[in-house]
A and B are shown apart, each in its own frame.
Chain A
């Protein structure tokens, strides 16, 4: 009896995770490409395979990874949240500002994350209630929140944060940076979440066909708002770590982060057309981008050229996504 039931379930799983469906939906090839890039860099550049370089690349990726958690699941539902970069900056700077004003750490961080959650809620609520294109709306909140972050940055005027906070991002767990540990744990948790939970299947369903999801009684509005809040909060957590890492208020913080996220998420198997997305892939996508940028620095390509490369990669991955998506239909 048991085995019969299991056999009935497996084909459904194979349909989702079978790998033949779309760019990057199978994580393995992406992992191989990333590994190939890493091996290539290690073979050609002696500075690459050093412990300090690898550690700093991984550390950077692990912080950005925190911000992409919610972002990926927003994309699964055919929405997008371009305000992540600004929320990232605002939360980090707000925590820093409160700490400079002699608040204890946890209340300051919680207040900042509360503000982030509020921004996420506003995004989600407006999108759901007025049926607005989330691209447009989050460009607006991106500008608005960026302005607020710059207000804070100017009021701080380049002051460094308190010492205890500057040490925060350098917290180690088992001799590894805590964010790297968090990343590994989160990837494993996401694996389970995407395989086992009904919520993730509902999200995919919403991304594939909103109307049908509504008709089948899925609480679309609630799930979407939840995802937007999650996206802002995870961006906020990443922002707190980054603020601690860069030690002072910088108006450039989180600039263009949202486009790195879109590119990484699409490389990792998400789609602008919704219904797909994989946090493991997103993590690999971020790692791949970080390796490419790291390699460009190793090969002495002008740093100003990075902007160009990110733009080109964005168009290329989305073009790939679009062409494959058209073929699937």
Chain B
């Protein structure tokens, strides 16, 4: 009788199975990279890795929150770009640094609120809304920047640049900040009722609403959060690289999207953790770094990213089918069960 009571492993009970798998892959990738390319462990490369990781992680925290409730936001890349530009324009107009910082964040919050309003109040498909907003925002960026040089705004007061360039013990301050933020979010997710209710809402919306969780307002605030975090990443990156141009954040949404899927999120909702977001972002950033170190042409990078996305979506689909109790033979065999098509 004793063998029927099996102790669940820690990873399973903490729901960190896929996250730990991704961490394992990341470690393997890192080891492989350091063997293949000696430049990987170079100080410069490690520093640039940290700079690349920090904004991606900040954006991924917002995206992962949306993934948990079964939504996503494709406008994050454009929001990052436009909030950096908003800060830069505020500085150009002679405003003090804190005001410029807030101007950037407010832009992101506003766009997030628009997304949230459209999705939560009007009930429009979130993909279409955020895609439309992506287009509109990129259009606005083009209009705003049409008179500027290709490099965009470049002269900032040193106090603003310091926002992105401070360091603690040789580590990039931005990177540490993003890590702290990630730990804070993870604690929120695991220790508070609101955090748990996010996963509940994504896993079973009807049941969650029946127990009194307010779906619409949660959705709305999650979109606002995602917009705000994307703006934060955008402003900090603008401060870090010292310029705001039309190219910032282009194609970022897909990278973050893939990172969240790989890190344990599911487009169906009800799954995911912020530790997973960290693992996914590490994976995607290392992959991009590997492309650069091995000097893979950029068009092949798009091919690989697309292939990874297809693979992840297919695996996600298979996992969902498994969860609904279909045997492997029916999923992969030559004669799938037609009734569940």
Q: Which residues of A contact B (CB under 8 A)?
A: 126, 128-133, 135-137, 139-148, 150-151, 153-154, 210, 214-215, 220-221, 256, 259, 262, 272, 302, 304-312, 314-315, 318-319, 322-323, 326
* Residue pair B138, A147 in contact (C-beta under 8 Å): no
Tell me the complex Cα distance, A318–B131, Å.
12
CB contacts (< 8 Å) of A214 on chain B: these are 338-339, 341
Tell me the residues in window 279-309 of chain B with beta carbons closer than 8 Å to chain A beta carbons: 297-307, 309
| Contact present for A131 and B340 (CB under 8 Å) | yes
- Chain B residues whose CB sits within 8 angstroms of the CB of A135 once the complex forms: 127
* Among B146, B303, B313, contact of A147 (Cβ-Cβ < 8 Å): B303
Give Cα distance in the complex from A308 to B129, angstroms.
Answer: 13
Q: A139-B254, A221-B341, A311-B134 are in contact. Are A132 and B303 (CB under 8 A)?
A: no
Give Cα distance in the complex from A308 to B118, angstroms: 17
Interface string of B108-123 (1 = CB under 8 A from A): 0000000000100011
Q: Is the CB of A133 within 8 A of B267?
A: yes
Checking B125, B142, B317, B340 against A318 with a beta-carbon cut-off of 8 angstroms, the contacting residue is B125
User: Which residues of B have CB within 8 Å of A154?
Assistant: 297, 299
A206 to B305, CA, bound (A): 32
Nearest CB in chain B to that of A273: its residue? B125
Report yes or no: A140 in contact with B135, Cβ–Cβ below 8 A.
no
Given contacts A220-B338, A256-B135, A311-B134, 19 further A-B contacts (CB under 8 A): A129-B331, A141-B310, A143-B302, A144-B303, A147-B304, A151-B303, A214-B339, A220-B341, A221-B341, A262-B128, A302-B143, A305-B142, A306-B139, A311-B139, A314-B131, A314-B132, A315-B129, A318-B129, A322-B122
- Alpha-carbon separation in the docked complex, A314 to B125 (Å): 11
Establish whether residues A131 and B125, one from each chain, have CB atoms under 8 Å apart when the complex forms.
no
The prevalent SS among residues of A at the interface is helix
Q: Bound state CA distance, A308 and B339, in angstroms?
A: 43
Q: Is the CB of A132 within 8 A of B143?
A: no
The interface residues of chain A lying within 8 Å CB-to-CB of B306 are 140-147
The interface on chain B, measured as residues whose beta carbon lies within 8 A of the other chain's beta carbons, has a size of 49
Knowing A147-B303, A220-B341, the reply to whether A311 touches B133 (Cβ < 8 A) is: yes
Q: Does B21 contact A (CB under 8 A)?
A: no
B140, B338, B341: which has the most chain A beta carbons within 10 Å?
B341
Cβ-neighbour of A326 out of B123, B299, B313 (below 8 A): B123
Residue on B nearest A132 in the bound complex, by CB: B317
A86 to chain B, nearest CB (A): 9
Shortest distance between the CB of A315 and any CB in chain B (Å)? 4
Q: Which residue of B lies closest to A215 (CB)?
A: B339
CB neighbours of A259 from chain B (8 A)? 131-132, 135
Q: B91 to nearest A CB, angstroms? A: 24
B99 in the interface, Cβ–Cβ < 8 Å? no
CB-CB nearest in chain A for B257 = A139
The answer to whether A322 touches B139 (Cβ under 8 A) is no
Q: Judge whether A128 and B341 touch: CB under 8 Å.
A: yes
A145, A153, A256, A307, most chain B CB atoms within 10 A: A307
